[in-house]
Amino acid sequence: MAASVAIVFIHSGDSDYLCYSLAQARRSNPKSAVYLIGDEATAGKYAVAEHIPYRGYVEDAKKFAASYRHLNTNAHAFELFCMMRWFVLRDFMRHKHIETAVYLDSDIMLYEEMHYEHFRYYDYDLAVTGVAPPVLVNNIKALEAFCSLMSGSYTDPVQLKSLEERFRIMQARGIAGGICDMTFWEMFMTGDEFRVADLALQTDGALYDRNIILGDGFEMENGLKSVVWHGDKPYGISGKDRSLVRFKGLHFHGPTKELMGNYIAGPDRPGDDTQ
């Protein structure tokens, strides 16, 4: 079994909030290697992570990009990057001979030591938070299969037609978005070749947050999940019985990214026992 779990971020350019997600990942995982796969904008900037040049792992991602068809109301570059990153992660793990890794979006604050998470989900090939990161890779063959699913969906005429029809129906119903990497995670998780766990499901009184602006059965305040702290651990308040559920990670979207600095954990952080 792996002694530690590598933590990987893939980020284009630099962002004000990136320092918080990197710092929190390092703080909660002092024994793990933390990698930031990025470009010149972040080279040598963050001491808490080892910077890896993105260009060294994009060959297969670019091959995928050549067959990609944009079927989404969001920006082409954004959705394509979200898909290409999985090829980059796969090739990075192959090159570094990394057997176990967790991939984090740069808008995720991580509060769990992933070494223990690896053992908790050791019998699973992958663990995905709903249909989004954090994604724990215990078996690179599962990640390889996921990348093959995406590639095949655009090169096989029957599969591509199915994607086009799905997007057409969404447009007809006035639904924003479309085909994205989350679509393929949804498809992948319906298969039976690999064992995939859902990190968004509560286990032993804890879970990974899918999106801090989604209620998910928790009490809300000012459009966000209410969070109380016990030492350096954040908890949500169940809307059903007001019991506390520990958040192993919090996922910030859109304008909520600017709040990430308020969620840095530390042993000296004041506890909040109010419920």
* pLDDT band at residue 4 under the 50/70/90 scheme: confident
Together in a domain, 102 and 212: no
Any domain includes 139:
yes
- With CA atoms as reference, report the closest residue to 112 among 243, 203, 42: 203
The answer, yes or no, to whether the previous bond of 234 is cis (omega within 30 of 0) is no
Together in a domain, 170 and 235: no
pLDDT at 266: 72
Distance CA(25)–CA(36), nearest Å, equals 11
Any domain includes 73:
yes
Q: Report the share of the chain in percent with pLDDT over 90.
A: 92
Together in a domain, 68 and 99: yes
- 103: tokens are 């991939």
- 166, 181, 198 - which closes a domain: 198
241-247 average pLDDT score: 96
Together in a domain, 27 and 96: yes
Distance CA(213)–CA(210), nearest Å, equals 9
Together in a domain, 110 and 152: yes
pLDDT at 7: 98
Any domain includes 1:
no
- 198, 218, 235 - which closes a domain: 198
pLDDT over threshold 80, residue 267: no
pLDDT digits (tens, 9 = 90+) for 55-104: 999 999 999 999 999 999 999 999 999 999 999 999 999 999 999 999 99
Any domain includes 217:
yes
Give the DSSP H or E segment for 133.
strand 132-137
- 198, 226, 255 - which closes a domain: 198
Together in a domain, 220 and 143: no
Give the residue numbers spanning the domain of 141. Answer: 6-198
Together in a domain, 226 and 98: no
pLDDT digits (tens, 9 = 90+) for 114-170: 988 988 999 999 999 999 999 999 999 999 999 999 999 999 999 999 999 999 999
Together in a domain, 175 and 40: yes
Q: How many domains does the chain have?
A: 2
Residues in Cβ contact with 226 at an 8 Å cutoff, skipping those fewer than 6 apart: 218, 219, 220, 236, 237
SS3 category, 54: helix
